[in-house]
Structure 1
Amino acid sequence: MSAWVFDLGNTRLKCAPLHADGVGDVIALPHREADLAAALAAALPPRIDVAYVASVANDALRVALLQALAARTCRISLARTQAAFGDFRIAYAQPHKLGVDRFLAMLAAHRRHQGEAVLVCGVGTALTIDLVDAGGRHVGGRIAPSPTLMREVLHERAPQLPAQGGDHADFATDTEDALASGCDGAALALVESSAEAARRTLGQRPRVLVHGGGAEQLAMRLPEAVQSVSLVLEGLAIWAAVDSIA
């Protein structure tokens, strides 16, 4: 049986085939409604038995993806956030309020690092930070703008401030570097303060995992962090293994 997993976020679509040993090579596709069908046609085999989808995108994008998949897929299964999955339990009293991408990333992180506390940091449109203790209990999390979104909002409000460019410096001597340093620095400070808060809460410093489109930029300045590019897809594969026998 051929199966694929799809992670439709706010800024991009990632997908990969499912193999017996986990997620295969990840493909990033255009993130516009009009492009999805053509991009999928070029990237996917003509027929797929089952597609497992996790989406936090708007309704129009989600519908565009589902319509494109329906033309070549026998079955489509939409992942949802659950109060518990095995020994992993979320902190939210209302599971639907926790984004399925955060749920799946935490599930994958906990499975990958059994017996360890993990701080799961997603860097996309938003910066999300979630703490899971060694027993699989989600302690809670934080949400802030990602560095990319900070830059875009500043540029929108003050067009003279460039939305891209610049290098990190402790004390920058031009505007591009100052923006890059300030926006990246704000995100780094939140991750570091969260790791320290986790140490105080749990009595041990958690393992820090960074994933998402902006993960590389932050991971370079977090020496202890593990960069996990496909963490949401890994969690989706775990979810799919149970869904396939339900």
Structure 2
Amino acid sequence: MYLLLDIGNTREKAALFYGDKITALTEISAESVKHLPIYSVYFACVANDTRLSSLKVALALDHLPWHQVQSEVHAYGVTNCYAQPHLLGVDRWLALIGARQLLGKQSVMIVDAGTALTVDWLDESGAHQGGWIMPGLQLQQQSVVQQTAKVFNKETLNGRVEPGKDTIECLQNGCLAAVTGAIRQGWLLNKAERLILTGGDTFYLNAQLADLNVITEPLLIFHGLAQYIRQ
């Protein structure tokens, strides 16, 4: 059994890989993993070394081998389009590999809807066609509220792609329209056979994009990470 970690600057996501099956962990702590027969840890990290060292100690797993995955020129049928391949975010790199592993030789548009919303295109030969990075739903709303005096919001997101009738509706509906509009523009710009949605805001976006050829895969990055174990 392997522990898979996606280590961000503010939080970690985790999954277990065993018998060619990936299972998400809802909690990641020393208590939640202490009885698991973990051989080693495979991880992607955008945080600093101090945070990584602290996590090893906090999970009481610093005695195990830890294998860090980073973006490459080419791996597992995927070719990175960046002139400096290591500068492609490792989460995006793993999403590309995960999409290739799940869908095979299909062209795919990958949307990772988190704090930042990223879009990446992969053609049927496995060549990365480039991508976009933009503020995600929550970040867009926070930016407007923080930078204006009379716009306010609430924690619950109930946005719809229609005109709002009060300030909260106008803000939430506008940001949802901006994000889904960008995705639709991307689909028209470089149409693929499939569109994969992943990330924390997938729930809000899926219903708005139902007319496109959409599949959702919350564990997409972990599917990419698991390829480094399968080898």
Return the TM-score normalized by structure 2. 0.90
Deviation of the 1:169 alpha carbon: 4.3
Aligned equivalent of 1:77: 67
Deviation of the 1:133 alpha carbon: 0.2
Contact 2:30 / 2:60 at 8 angstroms: preserved in 1?
no
Counterparts in 2 of 1:73 and 1:4: CA distance versus 1, 3 Å = farther
Task: Summarize the alignment of residues 13-162 of structure 1 with structure 2, pairs less than 5 Å apart.
Answer: 13-24=12-23, 26-29=24-27, 39-46=28-35, 48-69=38-59, 71=61, 73-158=63-148, 160-162=151-153
Q: Deviations over 1:73-101 (max 9, x none)?
A: 41111111111003210101111210110
Deviation of the 1:6 alpha carbon: 0.7
Structure 1 vs Structure 2 CA RMSD: 1.9
Deviation of the 1:72 alpha carbon: 5.3
Q: Deviations over 1:165-219 (max 9, x none)?
A: 34314111011111111111111111111111113xxxxx331001011111111
Aligned equivalent of 2:202: 215
Contact 2:16 / 2:25 at 8 angstroms: preserved in 1?
no
Amino acid at match of 1:186: A
Q: Deviations over 1:102-151 (max 9, x none)?
A: 00011010111112100011111111000000110001001000011111
Secondary structure of the 1:5 match is strand
Which of 189, 194, 207 aligns to 1:197? It is: 189
User: Unaligned stretches of 5+ in structure 2?
Assistant: none
Contact 1:119 / 1:195 at 8 angstroms: preserved in 2?
yes
Counterparts in 2 of 1:219 and 1:73: CA distance versus 1, 3 Å = farther
2-structure distance, mates of 1:51, 1:69: 11
Which of 191, 215, 219 aligns to 1:226? It is: 215
Contact 2:98 / 2:220 at 8 angstroms: preserved in 1?
yes
2-structure distance, mates of 1:63, 1:173: 49
Return the TM-score normalized by structure 1. 0.84
2-structure distance, mates of 1:129, 1:20: 31
